[in-house]
Structure 1
């Protein structure tokens, strides 16, 4: 089988990192951590589990950190797998990688996996599953797109192909941690939506290739950004919980769809409302406000 390097970005992931590394050992040549100077036992555990650890200062930008890894890690393999510390591959997906990677079409430079999300230790089969993400790609033939939120791997050349089996997002932290994390995500998502609505960052759409799934998701996000504040988060919850049958997942399904589908999206809209109330639609004022109030320099 073609050799694979795994890149994992970390900051204080001692609860997850051993599980993640052990999961990919059977098929990876090198496992690299790009660590943002963790203050817990992440680095020690990773080193003892067989990963090589490199540290780079976090600059509030996932894409910048991941692309730093692509440019600076001693990568010697044809393929790279992007994985978060709280993720792991199911055995069926590992077998599929081993069986199919060497017989892919010549033009296939990226591979899309289905993400299975566990919330409160339960698989959320309905509501959002499956989310399809390009996570395996050929070295020097892809980069991580520069966005404040919802960044994807973009191919520089070639095409993406989809595998059948799943990888798993299974975070073991408690709900207090989860809500704090999503509070931090909310301002980043607000920036992304303001960029769609107002051209806040002045970026032109990238000409690099997203997977079909990521492109469809991006188009949906653009439509979402054009809808009225607060109504759109409510409608999104109704769509997920009722039309996508999230209610069949029991109490965990209600909490997942309410917290991630309505509460979080309403928090994003509240931050947009706060920003517009203070700045109107003046892009210079908005950038200054976000820098002053949230410490993010756009």
Structure 2
């Protein structure tokens, strides 16, 4: 009898999936692989571990995750959200196995602590991030955003399990930069939505405390000057938060993720504003025509 249903969204994840599924075996979780038509060994690996495999056309993370909640035959009380390039750490496995069964019915969700790994090295000089990754089935879903999606809980309390999961992508730098170039468009949409409400989203409903604080910090970031904010963020992380102590891998992480990527996002925000001004309908049309994303 499975205790937890784990939803994993995939596209060509043969390099990561086995590691992820092995960690799930240690918490007696049933894996539901929702795939966006991979052409590698993703399906073969998933089925070799007894995972439920289903495919659906990709729109964005939130849409795909919520589709999984509605279409997978989930029959457990708890759902775990995990990406293919993530895995549960030993203390996370221990916390789930020992503490989760003891939670009272009024607890609807639990957070786990994120551990960042880049090029094989743990990036330690980052703020401690707790994320809702476990929730009772029927009480939560992903908020409808293009980036920075959090799990929203309909009712009940949220507790910290104090276990850890790792984000540890094994692909090379070329893959990483290409991926983040595609992310930058979605991030630009998210920032424009926070500034102009082009999608009409609410940005703080039913979020846990840390997610709400993170969203408030992001709103302050939105109101800061373009390009200066990305440079300032890099200096804050690399100098004031002692990121330079994480070695060459740490420099690459903070430079690429903290400055290069966010400057690229600002370039796309600048581009869209230059051609559209503050006209939200023009923004939608421009994004659709130039980036192939319909909003």
- Given the two structures, how large is their TM-score scaled by the length of structure 2? 0.97
Task: Tell me what 2:161 maps to.
Answer: 163
State the 1:2 CA deviation. Answer: 8.0
Mapped contact 2:2–2:28 kept (Cα < 8 A): no
Mapped contact 1:233–1:261 kept (Cα < 8 A): yes
Q: 2:103, 2:41 → 1: CA distance?
A: 39
Deviations 1:140-185 (A, max 9, x none): 0101000010001110111111122210000000000000000000
State the 1:92 CA deviation. Answer: 1.4
Task: Tell me what 1:182 maps to.
Answer: 180
Q: 2:30, 2:163 → 1: CA distance?
A: 23
Q: The residue matched to 2:187 in structure 1 has which SS?
A: helix
State the 1:199 CA deviation. Answer: 1.6
Task: Tell me what 1:26 maps to.
Answer: 26
Q: The residue matched to 2:278 in structure 1 has which SS?
A: coil
Deviations 1:214-267 (A, max 9, x none): 111001001100000000001111111111111111111111001000000000
Q: The residue matched to 1:116 in structure 2 has which SS?
A: strand
Task: Tell me what 1:210 maps to.
Answer: 207
Task: Tell me what 2:73 maps to.
Answer: 74
RMSD: 1.3
State the 1:205 CA deviation. Answer: 4.2
1:124 aligns with 2:126: no
Q: How many residues align?
A: 295
Map 1:57-136 onto structure 2 (within 5 A). Answer: 57-59=57-59, 61-126=60-125, 128-136=126-134
The one of 266, 283, 286 aligned to 1:289:
286
Q: The residue matched to 2:84 in structure 1 has which SS?
A: coil
Q: The residue matched to 1:217 in structure 2 has which SS?
A: helix
Mapped contact 2:194–2:203 kept (Cα < 8 A): no
Q: 2:267, 2:46 → 1: CA distance?
A: 39
Q: 2:264, 2:99 → 1: CA distance?
A: 42
Task: Tell me what 2:10 maps to.
Answer: 10
Deviations 1:103-146 (A, max 9, x none): 123321101011101001000000x2422110011000101000
Change in Cα spacing, 1:205 to 1:175, as seen in structure 2 (3 Å) is closer
1:279 aligns with 2:276: yes
Change in Cα spacing, 1:178 to 1:139, as seen in structure 2 (3 Å) is same
Moved more, 222-231 or 88-97: 88-97
The one of 187, 207, 216 aligned to 1:219:
216
Q: 1:145, 1:184 → 2: CA distance?
A: 20
Q: 1:29, 1:91 → 2: CA distance?
A: 15
Q: 2:178, 2:43 → 1: CA distance?
A: 23
State the 1:193 CA deviation. Answer: 0.6
Change in Cα spacing, 1:29 to 1:201, as seen in structure 2 (3 Å) is closer
Mapped contact 2:112–2:133 kept (Cα < 8 A): yes
Q: 2:62, 2:281 → 1: CA distance?
A: 24
Deviations 1:172-215 (A, max 9, x none): 000000000000000111011111111222234463x1111111
Mapped contact 2:2–2:30 kept (Cα < 8 A): no
5+ residue gaps, structure 1, are none
1:248 aligns with 2:277: no
Q: The residue matched to 1:125 in structure 2 has which SS?
A: coil
